[in-house]
Structure 1
Amino acid sequence: MAVTEFRLGKRDLSQPWDVSQIVTNIKWTTDIDFAAGELVFTILEVNEGFFPSNGDSVCFKWDNNRTFFGYVFSINYTSDEKIEVVAYDRLRYFKNQDTIVWPVGNALQRFNSIMARTSTPHDNLATATANLPAEVSDGKTYFDMLKSAFEATHAQSGNRYAMRDVYGLVQFIRVATNNGAYISDRTTTIIGDGSLLIDFTFGSSIDELYNVVKLIRETEDEQKRTVYTTKTSNSDSSQRRYGTLQVVEKADDKLNDSQMQDRANQLLRQYNKEKVTLTINAIGHEAIRAGTRFYISIQDLRDIGIGTREVLATKVTHNFKHDWTMTIDAEID
């Protein structure tokens, strides 16, 4: 396996320059946490009148697989005549800020609206039906707007969504559900003993766990006095196991008592979880990138009660060298 195409050119793809024979230290990172895909690489300087510019396009294929398309955002030229370059995919432009008045609608509609506004090629690999209330996003980044919509949809429906750039095409994907229903990128790839695995690190924490949620609404009565309404949701079993861990949040003053209780229950489901981290170092595989679900089967994890199961890759870094490897941050549902 090797670099089979690596071209830099003008933004309109004109004047392409083949650097496949002089590129090295290629590292590609994807992350579903509202971050652009990043490609870092080094070009060995040659005396042929070529030097990259910020804004140039980058096309990279590994083993004939279309791997990365994006644009140069940073260049450093060192005294040993090496050119160090950082490029990002189209998601980098979702750090742009804007003001949008959103009508009632769902997360997919907001995604499509932003894609149209920014003239971004896109594809919808999932649907979203949970309606979100009308709101104004004033001076926020497109990432922040979509993050707010995705998180509200997750809290309301249990479906978790993400976005990613696949060689210049931005996709709307579903990465998790409460019932294991349709997932946009589910593979049968297994990483484990004798199958791609190099090593792993596993950890768990309750530092961010809460098993008592108090939701407080502030309103004014006819005499303009502030009235506080409190709804509480708690887990007795979690309290017995971890002790009482309580959080207080403010509720929208437009919520009625029943809606407040529903919201408190939603927050409890969100907060009452141990944070489990799993980092895997493995031999590179073209199917794995952020947003992909795959299987783990590792005896050392089975010894502590984590058997063969499907996990979600939340962040993946591929290092393309003579030995192609990848580091995966995985989430265990």
Structure 2
Amino acid sequence: MDKYLRPTDVMDYNHPEVQDLARTLGNGISEQTIIAKRCFEWVRDEIKHSGDFKMNPTTCAASEVLRYKTGWCFAKSHLLAALLRANRIPAGLCYQRLTRNGRTPPFTLHGLNAVLLPEFGWYRIDPRGNKNGVDAQFDPPNEKLAWPIAVEGEKDLRGVWADPLPSVLVVLRNYDTWEGVRNHLPDMPFQGRDIRYQAVIFKDHHVLLLEIEDDGKAVWVIPGGGREGSESEEECVIREVWEETHLQVEVERLILDEKVPQDPFYERHKTYLCQIVGGVAGPGIEPELGDAESPIKDVGWLIKDIGWFDLRAVDSWDALGESPPFAFSILKRIREKLGYARETLNN
């Protein structure tokens, strides 16, 4: 939960002006839900939407939005997250993919927020600013967002982000005027993105894992991701493995197809058994992150401080523990699917 409370260079609530406003909005109030509503309504009503009002300059960090009193939906969500976090209320960022005119393509991402309320859990709110046809409100547990999902191709992105999407930051930091941002609004195509196509790759009985950084902590996962364009499921698996591990593989067969409600990004996981046909294992990249630093820190069958991860060995399970729950749960299901003895599992 710390990642939804910390200041960042974008949600910079350690800035004096942001701190002052946060204190003013929370002054004398003990109920977090009331503070959250006050912060939401202030950003919604007092910060002018840059596109609606054709205002410059382009802002990104919370302190910039507050200084110039303008921002695109993304920037306004950065300020709201900063004000909430400054009041010790966990807050993050959410995104929708919407048509730009409300009816037909092209599409654009739209930024909003989620706040963790004691009575209701995570609750989405949209501070972009009301106008004719837009009436976003704070009325938990009922969501009253600016835009409903109404057209084929539109989508709610699953999950709550602690930090902005890199594609959003690229636009806000590269274009100084509202026209520049309007002409380069970010999009994220989602064909095949409801399902994560992933690979389990063995060397003897040792499983290939990626070490990724999540909120400053190491988490181990198997390689995989969403489909792009018209590629097949098998082509997606082969591409993802190559991008993330520098290994060339061939797909043998599907071994798991399951709903994964705990994954904030994908509704289903399809896991394929693969064999290596070339390459040398090493940390790859996430192309969709552009110039941002890749979260992949290590790749291999050898886990730092753990040793070889042998799917059969109790010692491997004891060392892995349940600290990276995604890796633990998927490896356990793979092991059971492939027929390893249940009695040796670390339950």
TM-score, scaled relative to structure 2: 0.24
Greater helix fraction, Structure 1 or Structure 2: 2
Q: Computing the radius of gyration over CA atoms, which structure comes out larger, 1 or 2?
A: 1
Greater strand fraction, Structure 1 or Structure 2: 1
TM-score, scaled relative to structure 1: 0.25
